[in-house]
Structure 1
Amino acid sequence: MHIHVDSETGRLTRVLMARMNDFVLHEPMNEVQQRYYAVDAPRPDRLKAQHQAFAAALAAAGVDIVWAEQRTDTLHQVFVRDIAVVILDTLVVCALRQPLRRNEPRALDGLLERLDAPVARVTEGFVEAGDVMVHGGCLYVGQSPRTDARALDWLRRRFGDRLAVTPLALAPPFIHLDVVFCPVGRDQAIVHAPAFAPEALALLRGRFRCLEVDRREQFGLATNVLSLSPEVVVSPAHQARVNGALRAMGLHVVEVAYDEVAKLGGALRCATCPLCREPVPAAAGQGTIP
C-alpha cells in the first residue's frame, strides 16, 4: 500500500479510520469530556450514527477508507488520528501518554503488514499526532500535555533534514494542536489565537490568512476540520458562522453532523489519519516557509 502526505490540504485519496462498535464511556480525559459526561453524556447510538455518516461522506467523495483493527482493549479508538501520522513517505507510530489509550497503536498491526513504506516507532518521550502537522515544508509540532520535548527532539532528528520542524507551545487547557489550529485551502488556516504565545501567533499569521475563532467555537471543535482538497473541506454542521466564513474565503464546505462525537473532545480531523494525499502544486502558493 502506497502512502504519502506532505500537506494538510492536498487531495485526500486514502484515510485510516476506526469503528466505534466497542466504545463505552470512561473516566474523562479532557475538559470537553469533563463538561459533558456529567450532564449530557454522549449516546453510543448517536455517536455511531454520526461517525458512520461521516465515513459515508468520505466514501462518496472517492476517498478509500482503511479500517483499523477492532480491539476490545481500545475503548477510545475512534480518534485514530492520535496513534499514527504519515510524514512524507513514512508512517510514524506514536507513543500515547494516557494509560487508557496506550494499547490503541496495536490496531495498526494489520495495516503495517500491508505497507510498502518505512515505519518509524517513536522511542523517546510521548507524542500524539493531534499535535503533528506536515504542511508547506514544515513539520508543526504542538508542545502540549500530550507531546513532550523528548518526542520533539526525536521528530527533529528523524525529519529535520527534509522539513523545518516548528514547535508551537500551547497554553493550558489545550491538549492538541489540532483543536486550536488547522490549515485549510491553499494559504488559509483556522486559528484560536489565545492558545498561542505572541511569537507563535505572529508566525502563524505571517504564513496563513487566518480565520480566527472564539473560545465557544473552539470548545465546539471549530478548528477540527478535514480537507478533501485545497478547494473542499469537511466541517461540523453545528459551526454555522465558521462554515459561512470558510465559504466566504472561497472554499466548498461539506457539512456533517458531528456534535455528539464532539462531546468526546475531538471531531473530524481527530477521527481520521490521512494515509495518502496528492501534492499541492507549488504554484498554488500554499504555506511555504518565508
Structure 2
Amino acid sequence: MLQLNIKNETSRLRAVILGTAKSNGGVPKVESCYDPKSIEHVLAGTYPKESAMNLEMEAVAEILKKYDVEVFRPDIIENYNQIFSRDIAFVIEDTFIEANILPDREKEYRAIDKVISKIDPKKVVVLPKECHVEGGDVMPWNDYLFIGTYSGSDYSDYITARTNMDAVIALQELFPEKKVKSFELRKSNTNAKENALHLDCCFQPIGKDKAILHKNGFLIEREYQWLVNFFGEENIFEITKEEMYSMNSNIFSISEEVIISEKNFTRLNTWLRDKGFTVEEVAYSEIAKQEGLLRCSTLPLIRD
C-alpha cells in the first residue's frame, strides 16, 4: 500500500504521478480547447507536436529518477491529452482527493486506477457533485491550505474557472485543523495574459519560506498583499505579465533545496541560484503552450 503524505509543496519528494504525452491526440479543434493559450496556438498553427512534448516529459522523468523519486505514469488512452495529472486529483496529508473536473476529462482519472488501487480506500475522497476543484488551485502549506477560486456570479461563463467556493468549504470541512485561505483569481476565456487558470499560474511557495508571485493574477489586492506579508517582501520573486504567460510560477520542487525549472526562465533561475537553490533546467516550452507547466504535469503522492 502507498502511505500518502503531503503536508506542503517543497518537502523531499518520494513518489509522484507524472502525466504522459504519448498518443496525445494531435491538434484539437478550437471548441475543444480548455484555455485561451491553447486556442491561440491552434489558430496560429504552433500547437505543440506530440514528439516534442514526449521528449520534454521524459527529461523530467529522468530528473525525478536521478533523485530517487518513484514515478508512476497513467495508462495510455489512445488519442487523448493526459499531460496534466495535477488537474485530476491531489493529496492533502494522507488523503487522496479526486478533482471534480470538466466532465470530458473523466477518462483521465480512470487511467490512474492502478495507483489508486494501492491506496487505502478509506483515504480516497470524492467531493460532492456541486464542488468544482482542480489540483492546480490547491496548495497545502503546513498549517495552511491555499486555494485559488472564482466566486463571480458569471462563474459558469468561464471555462477557465475551475474551483468554486463549494469546494473551498468542503475542503475546510474535510481538514478542520487547517487554516484555509482562498484567493480570487483573474479569469479570461480569450486573453491568456489576463487569465490565471489556476492558483499555481500566479503563485507558488518554494524552499522553506519563499514564493513566486504575480500580482495581476489576483482579483483582490488585499489577498495578494496577505501573501506578500506572509512570506515577506524580501522572500518573494515577483514575475511580470510576460513571465506569468510563460508560466514562470509553475515550476516544481523536488525538495526544499532542489527545483525543476524551464531553461528559458533566465531571470527566475538566476534568482533561485542566488538564493542557494539547485536548479535542474529542462526544456518545457512546448508543453507550456497549453497553459500548464511542471507543477501542472505532476501529482505528488509522498513527501518526507
1:235 and 2:264 equivalent?
no
Q: Which residue of 2 aligns with 1:285?
A: none
Q: Which residue of 2 aligns with 1:220?
A: 246
2:136 maps to which of 112, 130, 139: 130
The DSSP-based 3-state class of the residue aligned with 1:241 is helix
Q: Which residue of 2 aligns with 1:20?
A: 21
The DSSP-based 3-state class of the residue aligned with 2:110 is helix
Give the CA deviation at 1:134: 0.2
Contact 1:8/1:135 (<8 A) preserved: yes
Give the CA deviation at 1:29: 1.6
State the alpha-carbon separation in 1 of the partners of residues 40 and 268 from structure 2. Answer: 23
Deviations 1:133-168 (A, max 9, x none): 001311111004100111111111111x22111111
**Which moves more between the two structures, 261-270 or 246-255?**
246-255
Q: Which residue of 1 aligns with 2:178?
A: 163
Q: Which residue of 2 aligns with 1:204?
A: 227
Equivalent positions of 1:176-215 (< 5 A) are: 176-196=198-218, 197-208=220-231, 209-215=235-241
TM-score between the two structures when normalised by the length of structure 1: 0.91
Give the CA deviation at 1:19: 2.0
Contact 2:5/2:93 (<8 A) preserved: yes
1:82 maps to which of 87, 90, 109: 87
Any stretches of 5+ residues in structure 1 without a counterpart?
A: 279-290
**What amino acid is aligned across from residue 115 of structure 1 in structure 2?**
I
State the alpha-carbon separation in 1 of the partners of residues 52 and 104 from structure 2. Answer: 23
Q: Give the 4+ runs in structure 1 shifted more than 3 A.
A: none
**What amino acid is aligned across from residue 156 of structure 1 in structure 2?**
Q
1:30 and 2:35 equivalent?
yes
State the alpha-carbon separation in 2 of the partners of residues 158 and 136 from structure 1. Answer: 15
Aligned CA-pair RMSD: 1.4
Contact 1:18/1:271 (<8 A) preserved: yes
Q: Which residue of 2 aligns with 1:149?
A: 165
Contact 1:76/1:101 (<8 A) preserved: no
Give the CA deviation at 1:216: 0.5
**What amino acid is aligned across from residue 85 of structure 1 in structure 2?**
F
2:70 maps to which of 50, 64, 89: 64
The DSSP-based 3-state class of the residue aligned with 1:134 is strand
Q: Which residue of 1 aligns with 2:104?
A: 100
**What amino acid is aligned across from residue 61 of structure 1 in structure 2?**
Y
1:249 maps to which of 238, 254, 275: 275
Give the CA deviation at 1:170: 0.4
**What amino acid is aligned across from residue 171 of structure 1 in structure 2?**
R
Deviations 1:161-191 (A, max 9, x none): 2211111110122220011111001100111
Number of residue pairs matched by the alignment:
275
Q: Percent identity?
A: 31
